[in-house]
Structure 1
């Protein structure tokens, strides 16, 4: 009902990575019911049709991995009589789950894309559900629908919007994906009477597409040119450790708020994990470093960037490698946000 078609990435005969459209009818029903995220919409500004059923471009909407949604709904802890706002209607499937639990009159959902909202409304109506659906910027919440006992967001945000705090009753919960830059994760925050929101990263781990202010596309990002290559040297922490340790990546994000983590492909086809900052500094560690010798890092610009990675690794391993649940998050009434490590009380100011 909610995912009649979706896109899967593949490499076509010319070696181009494309999004191939799949359909639930004609034997594809079992594919819909896998425990995976299914991409359901592409950015029209970047997508280009390359054959009858395939496009290039960036994904803008998806049907979330069912086990992830189940975990988030459990973290949301809804009770009879609760009013819930869902930010990110998407296909409408999660909206239907909330309607089945709470009744249509207590479920509100918002999505930036009017076409997605219209399609979700039609699908829900076919099942006899009529929640309040609106098209708009989910970071503004649903001003005419509040206050809410619970807010759940299926898009990532760099900070918890003031509108969500204002539209949540004291004692109410917000479950959302907090994008901290290098990494992020799901947080569960309780809103206090003075407007403070406080909580932790959840045991449920997962990431979502960023919230956007355009119905169809993401804004482009301007970056300074990469600094010239400076040096290659051994390092105690390389791409393998960063890729395999979610708790460490999250700590890196808290420590290096202006950095981002990307994949880098050089002219020979070798892949590296690259950390980069807006001033053009970068540092990369090869994914194919041999396991019988130290990992290496190559950098351009300031040497401090990877030194901070190594210092963060030393602290993290010295604290017995805490997972995400050991980090708390607080949003003050004035909008300032910081994370903290529960056992030591160490704080990190989150990006503005």
Structure 2
């Protein structure tokens, strides 16, 4: 049975959502009108059109309105006629917000296949918008409409593709999600880009941050191997001082350093602290088991050609020594040839090259 939402109740829901986003400090005032007037009921079922921040009333990373609002605000000044490329059309709601602000004539939205575009095109038409909708590989962008003033990516990528930077004019902005991290990069004349991480985090994840052990004892399950087997393995051992890897920022930083490594955090029943963390790189067979101990120490067993613990430990240790700041304390620089480096806004001596994802 289909439930119809009245125009009045839909407007009330949008107003409540805007009030909550504003109170949380997530909504740039320049985007208030778009969130108030774009009918998200045209893109989502009524059950999905709630005003909670965890309601999927957005298309982008984790489908959280606060994340979408932060990403749009980080685009910088978007006015009528601003040329915007959106990578990842989704259901079309985010596209509609861009159309409301920039005008449909200068908004291009890219989907990976025609089957993904059909429902979005219909929903956009219901809402009264007709932007340019294109099909193509997300990492390739859409060079036919370049140069753009801004690019916003609602897809999870391990690294910012060089094609995106090449298609945005110098002085333009690229806002993208890399795992849990959200980066807002300003493009330079030499084709490089640099900028801070945003204070909010995406909900993309390689695995749930909290998982009961029996959820991962299936070789055909989400990870494709038996965690119980990894628990029994022995490798090289070491002891280190490290904060809990189950925390939001440590998990974000680890994923930035090694996006191709999967992390599973297991917790003991009725306890908040982590029981242990399992890190695996399946192609190489490399793994690490990190067991928190008292006093901030961890016991590590690891094996394989890659030291999947040693790759990220210095970065998380730097974060702890810096006072455990939010992700906005760090930034990202991307060179024109695709090289990535993580840096600290407060520590000029911290600059970490990132391996290709």
TM-score, normalised by the number of residues in structure 1: 0.68
Matched, 1:140 2:157: no
Show the counterpart of 1:261.
263
SS of alignment partner, residue 165 of structure 2: helix
Equivalent residue pairs, number: 287
> How many Å apart are 1:62 and its aligned residue?
8.2
Counterpart CA distance in 2 for 1:295 and 1:114 is 51
Counterpart CA distance in 1 for 2:354 and 2:125 is 41
Counterpart CA distance in 1 for 2:285 and 2:92 is 41
Counterpart CA distance in 1 for 2:198 and 2:67 is 12
Matched, 1:193 2:189: yes
Show the counterpart of 2:18.
none
Counterpart CA distance in 1 for 2:280 and 2:196 is 27
Sort the Cα spacing of 1:310 and 1:85 in 2 relative to 1 into closer, same or farther, 3 A. Answer: closer
Check whether the contact 2:264–2:278 (CA below 8 A) recurs between aligned residues: yes
Aligned with residue 35 of structure 1, among 28, 53, 72: 53
> How many Å apart are 1:92 and its aligned residue?
0.4
Counterpart CA distance in 1 for 2:62 and 2:199 is 21
> How many Å apart are 1:29 and its aligned residue?
2.3
Sort the Cα spacing of 1:32 and 1:284 in 2 relative to 1 into closer, same or farther, 3 A. Answer: farther
Matched, 1:251 2:268: no
Counterpart CA distance in 1 for 2:126 and 2:205 is 28
SS of alignment partner, residue 123 of structure 2: helix
Counterpart CA distance in 2 for 1:313 and 1:68 is 24
Check whether the contact 1:156–1:178 (CA below 8 A) recurs between aligned residues: yes
Normalized per residue, the structure richer in strand is: 1
Sort the Cα spacing of 1:310 and 1:336 in 2 relative to 1 into closer, same or farther, 3 A. Answer: closer
Aligned with residue 341 of structure 2, among 313, 338, 342: 338
Residues 66-125 of structure 1 show CA distances to partners (whole Å, capped at 9, x for unaligned) of 121111111112133211111010010111111111211011101113222111101111
Show the counterpart of 2:68.
69
Matched, 1:299 2:293: no
Sort the Cα spacing of 1:167 and 1:234 in 2 relative to 1 into closer, same or farther, 3 A. Answer: closer
> How many Å apart are 1:304 and its aligned residue?
6.0
Counterpart CA distance in 2 for 1:264 and 1:169 is 45
Normalized per residue, the structure richer in helix is: 2
Check whether the contact 2:49–2:57 (CA below 8 A) recurs between aligned residues: no
Show the counterpart of 2:277.
273
Sort the Cα spacing of 1:242 and 1:106 in 2 relative to 1 into closer, same or farther, 3 A. Answer: same
**1:194-273 equivalences in 2 (<5 Å):** 194-208=190-204, 228-230=233-235, 236-237=241-242, 241-244=244-247, 246-254=248-256, 259-263=261-265, 272-273=276-277
Check whether the contact 1:281–1:300 (CA below 8 A) recurs between aligned residues: yes
> How many Å apart are 1:276 and its aligned residue?
2.5
Matched, 1:349 2:353: yes
Gaps of 5+ in 1: 5-23, 42-60, 211-219
Residues 215-250 of structure 1 show CA distances to partners (whole Å, capped at 9, x for unaligned) of xxxxx9999x96932478876446xx2222x33333
> How many Å apart are 1:162 and its aligned residue?
1.9
Counterpart CA distance in 2 for 1:253 and 1:307 is 13
Sort the Cα spacing of 1:345 and 1:163 in 2 relative to 1 into closer, same or farther, 3 A. Answer: same
Counterpart CA distance in 1 for 2:279 and 2:123 is 42
SS of alignment partner, residue 335 of structure 1: coil
Q: What is the Cα-based RMSD across aligned positions, in Å?
A: 3.9
Sort the Cα spacing of 1:208 and 1:242 in 2 relative to 1 into closer, same or farther, 3 A. Answer: closer
TM-score, normalised by the number of residues in structure 2: 0.67
> How many Å apart are 1:35 and its aligned residue?
2.4
